[in-house]
Amino acid sequence: MRTKCLLAAAWFLAAGGATADEALGTLSVKGKTTVLRYTYVTREPDPDNPGRDYVVFLLSDSKLAAADRRADRLLALARGGKLHDADREIFGEAEAADEGLGPVYNAQACRECHQNPIVGGISQVTELRAGHFDGRNFIDHPGNSLINDRAIHPDIQERVLPGNEVRSFRASLNTLGDGFVEAIADETLVALAQSQHSEIRGQVIRVPVLEADGALRVGRFGWKNQHASLVSFSADAYLNEMGITTPLQPDDNTSNGNSVEDFDEVPDPEDDGEDVLIFARFMRATQAPPRDTELAATRDAQAGEDLFRRIGCAGCHTPEIRTAPAGTAINGGSFVVPEALGNKRIRPFGDFLLHDIGTGDGIVQNGGASTRNKLRTPPLWGVRTRTRLMHDGESLTFTEAIQRHDNQARRARERFLRLGFGERKQLLTFLRSL
Domains and their CATH numbers in the chain: 7-81 (no CATH), 293-324+347-362+372-432 (1.10.760.10)
Percent above pLDDT 70 for the chain:
81
Tell me, what's the pLDDT at 200?
Answer: 98
- Is the CB of residue 385 less than 8 Å from the CB of residue 431? no
Cα torsion 281, 227, 224, 337 to 10°: value is -60
Q: What is the reported pTM?
A: 0.85
pLDDT score recorded for residue 48: 61
Spell out the residues 6+ positions from residue 297 whose beta carbon is closer than 8 angstroms to its own. none
Q: pLDDT, tens digit, for every residue of 282-305?
A: 999 999 999 999 999 999 999 999
Cis amide bond preceding 269, omega within 30: yes
CB 51 within 8 A of CB 252: no
pLDDT, residue 51, reads 62
The confidence band for 87, taking pLDDT boundaries of 50, 70 and 90, is confident
pLDDT band at 182 (very low <50, low <70, confident <90, very high): very high
Q: What is the rounded CA–CA span in Å between residue 10 and residue 8?
A: 7
List pLDDT tens digits, range 94-118. Answer: 999 988 999 999 999 999 999 999 9
Least confident piece of the model among 92-96, 186-190, 218-222: 92-96
Q: What is the average pLDDT score of the chain?
A: 87
The strand pair at 166-171 and 26-29 is best described as: unpaired
Q: What is the pLDDT of residues 30-57, one digit of tens each?
A: 333 343 444 444 555 666 666 655 555 4
- Annotate 195-238 with DSSP letters as a single string: HS-TTTPPBP-EEEEGGGTTEEEE--BTTTT-BSSHHHHHHHHH
